[in-house]
Structure 1
Amino acid sequence: MNTEITSGAGTLTLGRLGFGAAGIGNLYRAIPDSRATATVEAAWDAGIRYFDTAPHYGLGLSERRLGSVLMGKPRQEFVLSTKVGRLLSPKQGVLMGGAGKDDGVAPGGPRDTEGFDVPATSRRVWDFSGQGIRQSIEESLERLGLDHVDIAYLHDPDVHDLAGGIRDGLPALEKLRAEGLVRAIGVGVNSAEAALECVEAADLDLVMLAGRYTLLEQPRVPLLERCLEKGTGVVNVGAYNSGLLARHDVSDDAHYNYGQAPSALLERARRLAAICGSFGVELPTAALQFGLRHPAVVNVTVGATSPEQVRVNAGRMAEEIPAELWNELSRQGLIPS
């Protein structure tokens, strides 16, 4: 597979496996600063050189923690992406917490209500304007402690305002790339349909697609084919479909799309696991590597909240999977041929 993207600013090499930094922004539960640092260091030691974050992740905590490690690494040796579209507006009278405290949180006070176990020190403000996107990059650089990011994604236009994102956000990103402030641009979405609209509307280097091209499901629209035609790389995230494919033994309370998995999908996941097991392959290993099978995909990025999770993911990506497994899954109609 091709793990490189080429834009007007040159070539970026992402590698097969990337590190998603939502988890070190206290996604769902708080982790200590020391563990976050060790997790990023483990990713580096595993050979991972593509790191993705966002202001949304822990109200800036993810960027601060990631930057605190990467600022000690040779800048030319890694690729860094962050996202734009949500500005962080500080709330008056609320003390800042986060990096610098070994619990990752500040004591007391209101908590964030958007999935991150952090103090509600700021509120997220949607802003797809050119000025807002430029401000977002500047503030991200301050939190990261770095002099540039390589890739900027418009974050969740499918959630907020797809038409506005296409009208305002994508041209603003194209301008930043033309000015050399970022090397590559893209969108980060959960919807393949929205991603396809963005690919058709702008000259994007990348699409970060969450959970829509996995062992469990594939896009119902020709997104990947169109990306291949236009030279737009796909960074595949959500390979485990929110946890449904994360364990070989699929539990009744497994999650899908951040909620309880429907019974039909539990049954499908168990069928996939049974076939994988007959070839001596665990379900999450097949799920991780399936994400690379389409030629439009340039990278699979996975989150982690511990060094052990990083090492497990890296090991799964390195395993040899027999071609016969893919052939059997295709023969049974579970994946495309």
Structure 2
Amino acid sequence: MTATVVDLLNRGRSGHGVIGLGGSPLGNFARPVSDDEAARTVRRAWARGIRYFDTAPHYGLGLSERRMGAELCRHRRDEFVLSTKVGRLIVPNTRPRERDDDGFAVPGDRTRRWDFSPTGVERSLRESLARLGLDSVDILYAHDPDQAWEGAAREGLASLARLKAAGVVKAIGIGTNSTTGLAAIIEEGLVDVIMLANRYSLLDHSALDSVLAPAHQAGVAVVAVGVFATGLLSTARPAPHAMYEYRAADVEVAERANRIAAICEDHNVELPAAALAFPLLHPAVAAVAVGMRSPREVDEDLRQFETDVPDGLWRDLVAEGLIPAGAVRTAPSAPR
């Protein structure tokens, strides 16, 4: 695994691994968060030992970056790891709306414009640093290139490689919900790290062979995000009408989540604790990052993260066909 990325992320390591603060909620994803609540959330995360912070221009049209930077600038730059993303420039909206139309509760006077060119990437980073009030970020991701156009990932990575070669950033990668094409990009040595959303969790193992295996082979770090499956795995028992992948969970997936929750209960472990621990069983996964919108959520997520999850839980989930055996090969007595 890429030494630089692991060394960076390990600044925030506990006995259970590395957990990072994901910045989407601080950009008012789905619903507003006050400036005061956002500030107290970042402060609480810092006080509890979190040292990896992730954000993006996309999150609230720059709001997340501004809020996160306002708190992180209180600390020495070498005390934390920060990642942001490129690919969406934030520009004036020629047809202003009352509200943003991309999931964030912010004014719609600005909008996003895809741009993975060297000029666009350099501009995006420059504007991110201005919003953050900082002089550097550690990790820079090409954000959702699969949603832009064919070839956007490679164009973005070529632009990022120039910045890395110039010493502007320490590590580069892709942040995405899609596994398509990642194996080739990993095998060609184009990335140091992949931030993978929703494709490696207790409910979705699609990245196991398509991304995690080649990443481990190539020494590429993976940061797993979306480990709560956008809500379904965030409570001890899946709540009625809980969300899965940003929409109401269907009956089949809700039943599967409940089966996992029941096995967790048999081992005196809550479902969110297992959801946080599961990705870190794989040697390719260097960290998980979780969106947190309040000090209470910081405390709750860390309580779950610090739970000791017994190997027997993973063995039972494998035996019931709920997770693949290959996902828990690091547990010595897991069945093969």
TM-score if structure 2 supplies the norm length? 0.91
Q: Structure 1 stretch 318-327 or stretch 9-18: which is displaced more?
A: 9-18
Alignment of 1:35-114 (within 5 A): 35-91=37-93, 110-114=98-102
1:223 paired to 2:211: yes
Inter-CA distance 89–191: structure 2 relative to 1 (3 Å threshold) = same
Structure 2 stretches lacking a partner, 5+ long: 326-336
Amino acid at match of 2:40: A
Contact 2:87 2:120 survives alignment (8 Å): yes
Provide the C-alpha distance between the structure 1 equivalents of 2:204 and 2:312, rounded to a whole number of angstroms: 20
Provide the C-alpha distance between the structure 1 equivalents of 2:72 and 2:177, rounded to a whole number of angstroms: 27
1:204 paired to 2:191: yes
Equivalent of 2:3, from 6, 10, 15? 6
1:252 CA drift (Å):
3.2
Matching residue of 1:102: none
1:45 CA drift (Å):
0.8
Q: Which stretches of structure 1, 4 residues or longer, exceed 4 Å deviation after superposition?
A: none
Equivalent of 2:25, from 23, 26, 31? 23
Provide the C-alpha distance between the structure 1 equivalents of 2:94 and 2:305, rounded to a whole number of angstroms: 45
Provide the C-alpha distance between the structure 1 equivalents of 2:191 and 2:99, rounded to a whole number of angstroms: 36
Amino acid at match of 1:276: C
Contact 1:5 1:13 survives alignment (8 Å): no
1:158 paired to 2:146: yes
Matching residue of 2:179: 192
Question: Cα deviation per residue 1:41-76 (whole Å; 9 max; x = unaligned)?
Answer: 011011100000000000000000000000001110
Structure 1 stretches lacking a partner, 5+ long: 95-108
- When the two chains are superposed, the root-mean-square deviation of aligned CA atoms in Å is 1.7
The 3-state SS of whatever aligns with 1:28 is coil
Provide the C-alpha distance between the structure 2 equivalents of 1:219 and 1:10, rounded to a whole number of angstroms: 24
Contact 2:56 2:86 survives alignment (8 Å): yes
Equivalent of 1:281, from 259, 263, 269? 269
Inter-CA distance 159–300: structure 2 relative to 1 (3 Å threshold) = same
Provide the C-alpha distance between the structure 1 equivalents of 2:224 and 2:200, rounded to a whole number of angstroms: 7
Provide the C-alpha distance between the structure 1 equivalents of 2:302 and 2:7, rounded to a whole number of angstroms: 24
Inter-CA distance 10–259: structure 2 relative to 1 (3 Å threshold) = closer
The 3-state SS of whatever aligns with 1:91 is strand
Contact 1:39 1:307 survives alignment (8 Å): yes
TM-score if structure 1 supplies the norm length? 0.91
Provide the C-alpha distance between the structure 2 equivalents of 1:228 and 1:31, rounded to a whole number of angstroms: 37
Q: Structure 1 stretch 137-146 or stretch 154-163: which is displaced more?
A: 154-163
Question: Cα deviation per residue 1:128-167 (whole Å; 9 max; x = unaligned)?
Answer: 111100110000000000000101000001111242321x
1:92 CA drift (Å):
6.5
1:130 paired to 2:118: yes
Provide the C-alpha distance between the structure 2 equivalents of 1:176 and 1:111, rounded to a whole number of angstroms: 34
Q: How many percent identity over aligned positions?
A: 46
Provide the C-alpha distance between the structure 2 equivalents of 1:210 and 1:10, rounded to a whole number of angstroms: 19
Amino acid at match of 1:250: P
Amino acid at match of 1:205: D
Contact 2:6 2:221 survives alignment (8 Å): no
Provide the C-alpha distance between the structure 1 equivalents of 2:150 and 2:237, rounded to a whole number of angstroms: 38
Provide the C-alpha distance between the structure 1 equivalents of 2:192 and 2:95, rounded to a whole number of angstroms: 41
Question: Cα deviation per residue 1:84-113 (whole Å; 9 max; x = unaligned)?
Answer: 00001123697xxxxxxxxxxxxxx61101
Contact 1:186 1:204 survives alignment (8 Å): yes
Amino acid at match of 1:73: H
Provide the C-alpha distance between the structure 2 equivalents of 1:336 and 1:92, rounded to a whole number of angstroms: 49
Alignment of 1:323-334 (within 5 A): 323-334=311-322
Contact 1:158 1:194 survives alignment (8 Å): no
Inter-CA distance 202–128: structure 2 relative to 1 (3 Å threshold) = farther
1:10 CA drift (Å):
9.6
